[in-house]
Structure 1
Amino acid sequence: MMIEIELRCDGDDAERVEGVLKRWNVQFYEGRERFNGTDVVVFTVMVPDFVINDIVSDLVKAVDLRKAHSSVVWSDISGKSVKYSSSAKSLEKFRHRWTLVDIEGLVEKTNSQARVDPIQLTLGAVASIVALFGLVTDSIVMIISAMLLSPILGPLYGFSLNIVMGRGRDAMEAILSIGKLLLVIFMSSFVSSLLLRALGVMPGTPTHEILLRADSGLIYILLAVVLGYAGVVAIVSRIPEILAGVSIAAALVPPTSVIGIALAMGWWEVFTGSTVLTIENVLGLLTGSLAALYILNVSPRFYYEKKAAKMYTKRTLMVLLLLISGLVLLELIP
């Protein structure tokens, strides 16, 4: 479908508008008219619907819409335009990229997943119990099953996406959701471990799978950053979310469950190691996902929002990197 854009501006903005249209390689018609005694330049452009939001975003940056005679409007047109068919053909490459509407749709979808409800918290508790049985029986199959159940992906990317969009309140809600899920996973594991210990079915010493989640280190921080980065790239590449979700859950659900197990069993060395590992994984995942969105240049629609959002993103990244640096120093201290 073709969209007709009609843009009005004064001569000061016209040169910038023409530059935007030439950069997009679209054909346009330029005319003149009078508006309340002011000479106004009128641009008429027809573009394919799949790039309308990106082109309009660039045009809005070039025009001072505070002026009464300036405006940008667009509407659908029926039928095909032979004259503008070459413009549509030259913009085909944009069909498979994320547009601003795609990004905003992803943010809204992620926000709906980021606000955890009782059902998601229940899933977190079930995932924790399944992970517990897998950890104490050295069953990797059960541990993987727990990862499939965990709803941790939505809150994690809710934080990162809202940071790059400059939505601090929504980002904090996502962090709160992550905290709620991790607390539920920990408490479910802790209470279940106490009950199993009372029944005499808990192992006397940590199993192999438990010990694996009690070993923190620099390599795990790096791995968490890479997982966070790869998860965002997977979503942007339209890879099924469940694949990204399993990798994220692998870094959070088992070690958080081990914290509860170790506390219930009095395995203090395991408790310390799994706690440090969980903190490293949380910070690494947040840093990696935020860095990926920053590198991919995901940002708000309008230019006056982009500047504030970028500053917000940089400051958040600096805080995360400082916290990770502190963990690195702790790991280097013998």
Structure 2
Amino acid sequence: MLHLRVISPAGSTAEAVERLRSHAGTAHLVVHHGVAVEPDGDLVEADVAREAADEVIDLLCGLGIDHDGGITLEALDAALSDSADRAEEAAPGVGADAVVWEELVSRSGEESRLNATFQAFLVIACLLASVGVITDSPVTIVGAMVVGPEFGPLAALAVGLVLRRRDLMRRAGLALGVGFPLAMVVTALVTLLSEAVGLLDVTAFREGHAAVDFVYHIGWYSLIVALLAGAAGMLAMTSAKSAALVGVFISVTTVPAAGFAAVAAVTGDWLRSLESVGQLAVNLIGIVAAAAAVLALRRRGQRVRAAGRPLSAG
């Protein structure tokens, strides 16, 4: 269940309440008249089955409340109520399979912003990857995968492609287009410093990274893993199963490839540096393509079910 909170202009409250009351997927409807200060109006609250949330939001937006008032949603960990159970049973579909589109747009938009926190995580992840590359440590490489924040902008790109939201695509493109090069430059500078103080033996590096050579080896499995990771990541985001995202982070070679490219460039190993950049590009493109495909299929499925006809293979 989701908790719906609506600030409604006084002139729209009666119709909003009627629309909520008439929808089978709502429960626990409460109205507080005249309590909203900014914007001025009434406060309407209800619990909504996740699979009914999109329909309910559309009903309220049809009254212009998203412009003249406000609509917020938050997840409920538990709802002990017969009326809540009836609402979930009456709502179309299954809650775990439902996509709340406004929630997805808001979440992906927030996680795709280029800001100091995003850049710091990406720099730290690339530095961890560089340490893993220099020490030939797969464990450190995995740690860099987990720290990397890049799936947020990649998911936002997919959402932007499917929903034709150019604002999301621009924001995500900026985060990736600025974030990765800057993180790689910082990693290269730190690598130069490591070489200067004797922490990095260039000869040993060129001869001794067999345990992490998967980072720059491009093959069909690179694309296959990226596609599977993108699909799993989007499924996790749209079904609120965020725990699965950790597995997505560990499976893709984005940050490690960026870190390897920087270290290899500093040591003069340009072939492997270019191969690492290629690996990075394959993973980024594969993740976005698969995530967009999953999102498009889920959107089409919801539209077909809403139209009351079976999902066809065509």
Instruction: Say yes or no: TM over 0.5.
Output: yes
From 157, 160, 173, the equivalent of 2:158 is: 160
From 95, 103, 106, the equivalent of 1:105 is: 103
Structure 2 segments unaligned to the other structure (5+ residues) = 4-15, 26-46, 64-80, 304-314
Cα distance in 2 between the residues matched to 1:113 and 1:87: 31
Instruction: Normalising by structure 2, report the TM-score.
Output: 0.66
Structure 1 residue 94: Cα displacement: 4.0
Partners of 2:188 and 2:266 within 8 A in 1? yes
Residues 274/89 of structure 1: CA separation in 2 closer, same or farther (3 Å cut):
closer
Residues 125/55 of structure 1: CA separation in 2 closer, same or farther (3 Å cut):
closer
Q: Percent sequence identity over matched residues? A: 21
Equivalent position amino acid for 2:192 in 1: L
From 254, 257, 267, the equivalent of 2:256 is: 254
Map of 2:167 onto structure 1: 169
Q: What does 1:60-75 correspond to in 2, within 5 Å? A: none
Residues 268/93 of structure 1: CA separation in 2 closer, same or farther (3 Å cut):
closer
Partners of 2:215 and 2:276 within 8 A in 1? yes
Structure 1 residue 261: Cα displacement: 0.7
Map of 1:227 onto structure 2: 229
RMSD (CA atoms): 3.8
Map of 2:246 onto structure 1: 243
Q: Which moved more, 1:280-289 or 1:234-243?
A: 234-243
Structure 1 residue 4: Cα displacement: 6.3
How many residues align? The count is: 244
Structure 1 residue 276: Cα displacement: 1.3
Structure 1 residue 189: Cα displacement: 2.0
Matched, 1:273 2:271: no
Instruction: Normalising by structure 1, report the TM-score.
Output: 0.62
Larger Rg: 1
Structure 1 segments unaligned to the other structure (5+ residues) = 7-20, 27-47, 66-79, 302-334
3-state secondary structure, aligned to 2:253:
helix
Residues 107/195 of structure 1: CA separation in 2 closer, same or farther (3 Å cut):
same
From 90, 114, 117, the equivalent of 2:115 is: 117
Equivalent position amino acid for 1:268 in 2: W
Map of 2:294 onto structure 1: 292
Cα distance in 2 between the residues matched to 1:96 and 1:287: 23
Residues 164/208 of structure 1: CA separation in 2 closer, same or farther (3 Å cut):
same
**Per-residue CA distance 1:74-111 (angstroms, 9 max, x = gap):** xxxxxx999xx988744375444425xx2211211221
Partners of 2:229 and 2:248 within 8 A in 1? no
